[in-house]
Amino acid sequence: MYRTHTCGELRISDVSKSVTLAGWVQRARKLGGMTFIDLRDRYGITQLVVGADAPEALVESANSLGREFVIQVKGTVVERQSKNPKMDTGDVEIAVSDINILNKSLTPPFTIEEQSDGGEDIRAKYRYLDLRRAPLKRALELRHRIAHECRNYLDAHGFLEIETPYLIKSTPEGARDFVVPSRMNPGEFYALPQSPQTFKQLLMVAGYDRYMQIVRCFRDEDLRADRQPEFTQIDCEMSFVEQDDVLAMFEGMMRSLFKNVLGVDVPNPLPRMSWYDAMDNYGSDKPDVRFGMLIHEITADAQGHGFGVFDSVPYVGAIAVEGAAGWSRKELDELTEWVKRPQIGAKGLVYIKLNEDGTVKSSIDKFFSPEELQAIAAKVEAKKGDLVLVLCGPKRKTQTQLGVLRLELAGRAGLRDPKVFAPLWIVDFPLLEWSEEDGRFYAMHHPFTAPKPEHLDLFYSDRKEDLERVCANAYDFVLNGNELGGGSIRIHNADVQERMFQVLGIGKEEAEYKFGFIINAFKFGAPPHGGLAFGFDRLCALFGGQETIRDYIAFPKNNQGRDVMIDSPSRIDQVQMDELCLASTVKQ
Ligand code: ASP
């Protein structure tokens, strides 16, 4: 036996036991003739001590230990003179009688402690060393716990975990596919699944009416700050359900996760908000509802006062920032520059200060009387001492800008506490999204999402305005300003599916080539069905109180989509290229 106990296990009740431990040397230090060693494994750290009166060979061996050496020690558990209440094992130490060096280690390039001194790049390169650190270990433990709870809940509700293939053909999630050349079929390619969408629907056709899978998905997107080219979903589908059935099932799952993993109670039932309300009031389809600062439309009050900027746009909106009336000119200028950055794209920022003494001060004083400014402030629900910030322009665009501003200011004010959880459902999405650029509709969710039955007539209309009004039977699960999951009731009728492709400008031939298999399957008794998928990595990060998903993935990629540890992607040799019938246009 390599060890009798782990390094996180021994307590005061174990005093005088003979034990054998094995692990990594976190650090060794000499103190008054004694050597203290922190021995670490996955479970914790135990202090070892080699006394001043120990045999010379033992002292020598203890003094030869470097950081991250792997050792096995034998000894006796003794009570510590100076206890460390911060450590689970802090009441005891091991009086070492024997040290066996199992393996030496090079000096690690950064400290392997709660807080490392290593920068992100070096830690990514030596990920296996970074993973020895307690914060990462806790993250992976949390990930395991959540996966386990999910499976338990879904198993108890009759879901089968069924694997679907990775080498498939293009899926319709709207991102770019990763492709894999087929050696056996020269010139042909597999696509890696952007999600198992079509397969889970085929499983419904096959009669497996409750499917789940914790599954990897692949999307070749430009990696915005916190995306990964491969990520994990909790993917689910059910048959013979309506939207309410799906929402009830999965908010049950989320409720049990919150309760069993975090000990947090969330409302039952969860709040629901329509997409339209979310956009109008929060300027986002994934509203953070932990705080107010709602967006208010003030177009009618703002126009007709001779202020050309307001008069020439379709929408004027505002938010009230609590207690910010005292902001200086400099602070307001800084904020104006901030909203004008290309990522946000506002043209300018108008303010109204509601001073504590009841007076108002505004950048548009010239055009509005104090009473008119007060009336606008009242509409925005601002009180004395608050600051009203106004943006204007096209409606959705301006609301989105106000939404971003709202989040930024709430963040600065400390209103986005990661330990407060405010989940909700967003429902009643538009089915289609018009792209001015491409002059065509795109599916807001994906092309298998069903229109609401009461909107079927509109769906068959040829007028753009009608089609824009069609609502989808789609829903998103939103937590603290993050879209954590989304899904829909699906089209299960071949005619409606064909109409959908037609609306999306996908010709009959193209639809047949890309999705013929599923249209065909719908002709063989497809049951009504629907489902959703949760972003598992993000779920873990939010449960862990972190913004970034990278710590919750054992071997993540960097912002350029590279795994710098294994150095991938990398070139392949000419033989492989030839076998795959690939010609490189990149200079090698
Ligand atoms: N396949 C969808 C997605 O990845 C989820 C769903 O509709 O079930 O977003």
Ligand 1: distance of its center to the CA of 389 in Å?
Answer: 37
Closest atom of ligand 1 to 531 CA is 8
317 CB under 6 A from ligand 1? no
Both 265 and 367 in one domain: the answer is no
Pocket of ligand 1 contains residue 173 by CB under 6 Å:
yes
Closest residue (by CA) to atom 8 of ligand 1? 532
Cα 244 to ligand 1 centroid, rounded to whole Å: 17
Q: Which atom of ligand 1 is nearest to the CA of 200?
A: 8
In short, whether 195's Cβ falls inside 6 Å of ligand 1 is: yes
Name the token pair of 52: 């001043």
Give the structural domain span for 374: 291-412
Amino acid at 93: E
432 and 311 both lie in a single domain: no
Nearest one of 177, 67, 183 to 129, comparing CA atoms:
67
Q: Chunk the chain into consecutive blocks of 10 residues (it has 588) and report each block's average pLDDT, rounded to whole numbers.
A: 96 98 96 94 97 94 97 98 95 98 98 95 97 97 98 98 95 88 94 97 98 97 86 98 98 98 97 98 98 97 96 98 96 97 95 95 96 96 97 97 98 94 97 94 95 96 95 97 97 93 93 91 96 98 93 95 96 92 78
472 CA → ligand 1 middle, Å: 14
Report residue 518 as tokens. Answer: 């599923």
Atom of ligand 1 nearest to the CA of 449: 7
Same domain, 262 and 323: no
* Same domain flag for 394 and 318: yes
Distance 531 CA to ligand 1 centre (A): 8
- Does ligand 1 come within 6 angstroms of the Cβ of 531? yes
Residue 35 belongs to some domain of the structure: yes
How much distance in Å is there from the Cα of 508 to the middle of ligand 1? 24
- Whether 46 lines ligand 1, by a CB cut-off of 6 Å, is no
CA distances from 237 to 132, 148, 202, 448 (A): 37, 19, 10, 13
pLDDT at residue 368, rounded to an integer: 97
Q: Would the CB of 372 count as within 6 Å of ligand 1?
A: no
**216 Cα to the center of ligand 1, angstroms:** 13
Shared domain for 389 and 428, answered yes or no, is no
Token look-up 């450590």 returns 87
| Judgement on whether residues 234 and 303 belong to the same structural domain of the protein | no
Q: In sequence order, what DSSP letters do the residues of 293-332 get, joined into one string?
A: ---EE-HHHHSSSS-HHHHTSSEEEEEEETT-TT--HHHH
Position 296, amino acid: H
Please indicate, yes or no, if residue 203 is contained in any of the structural domains.
yes
- CA 134 – CA 146 distance, rounded (Å): 18
Please give the number of the atom of ligand 1 that sits closest to the Cα of 196. 1
Q: Is the CB of 533 under 6 A from ligand 1?
A: yes
Residues 384, 387, 392, CA angle at the centre, nearest 5°?
Answer: 135
Q: Are 339 and 362 in a shared domain?
A: yes
Do 346 and 265 lie in one domain? The reply is no
End-to-end CA distance of the chain: 52
Q: What is the CATH number of the domain that holds 51?
A: 2.40.50.140
The SS3 assignment for 212 reads: strand
Cβ of 487 below 6 Å from ligand 1: yes
Taking the centre of ligand 1 as the mean of its atom positions, its distance from the CA of residue 496, in whole angstroms, is 19
Crossing angle (nearest 10°) for helices 275-282 and 395-412: 60
Q: Are residues 224 and 180 in the same domain?
A: yes
Cα–ligand 1 centroid distance for 476 (angstroms):
10
Same domain for 403 and 428: no
Residue 343 alpha carbon to ligand 1 centre in Å = 27
Residue 430 is classified by DSSP as B
Ligand 1 neighbour 197 (Cβ under 6 A): yes
pLDDT of residue 164: 98
Cβ atoms 563, 550 nearer than 8 A: no
Residue 302 lies in a domain: yes
Tell me, what's the pLDDT at 1?
86
Our mutation pick for probing the ligand 1 site, out of 233, 426, 448, 489, counting the most ligand atoms within 8 A of Cβ, is 233
- What does the alpha-carbon distance between residue 397 and residue 380 come to, in Å, rounded to a whole number? 19
Please state the atom number of ligand 1 nearest to the C-alpha of residue 171: 1
Domain endpoint, select from 48, 81, 103: 103
Which atom of ligand 1 is found nearest the CA of 217? 4
pTM: 0.94
What is the number of domains present in the chain? 3
Alpha carbon 85 to chain centroid distance? 35
Check which CATH number belongs to the domain holding 387 and give it.
Answer: 3.30.1360.30
> Does any ligand 1 atom lie closer than 6 A to the CB of residue 488?
yes
Ligand 1 pocket check for 295: Cβ under 6 Å: no
**What angle separates helix 243-257 from helix 134-156, to the nearest 10 degrees?**
140
Strand pairing partners for 442? Answer: 433
Q: 562, 573, 446: which is closest to 506 by C-alpha?
A: 446
Answer yes or no: are the C-beta atoms of 57 and 101 closer than 8 Å.
Answer: no
Question: What are the φ and ψ backbone dihedral angles of 575, each rounded to 5 degrees?
Answer: -60, -45
Q: Report how far ligand 1's centroid is from the alpha carbon of 446 (Å).
A: 8
List, in sequence order, every beta strand (DSSP E) within 53-195. Answer: 70-79, 92-103, 160-161, 179-181, 189-191
- Residue 403 Cβ < 6 Å to ligand 1: no
The CATH number of whichever domain residue 532 belongs to comes to: 3.30.930.10
Nearest CA owner, ligand 1 atom 4: 195
User: How far does the centroid of ligand 1 lie from the alpha carbon of residue 150, in Å?
Assistant: 17
Contact predicate 473/451, CB 8 Å: yes
pLDDT of amino acid 223? 79
201 lines ligand 1 (CB under 6 A): no
Question: Of the residues 362, 377, 412, which one is the last residue of a structural domain?
Answer: 412
User: Which numbered atom of ligand 1 lies nearest the CA of 532?
Assistant: 8
Token reading at 326: 């005292």
Query: Is the minimum distance from the CB of 193 to ligand 1 under 6 angstroms?
Result: no
217, 249, 198: which is closest to 536 by C-alpha?
Answer: 217
> Do 326 and 368 fall within a single domain?
yes
pLDDT (0 to 100) of residue 171:
76
Record the tokens describing residue 213, joined without a space.
Answer: 């899978």
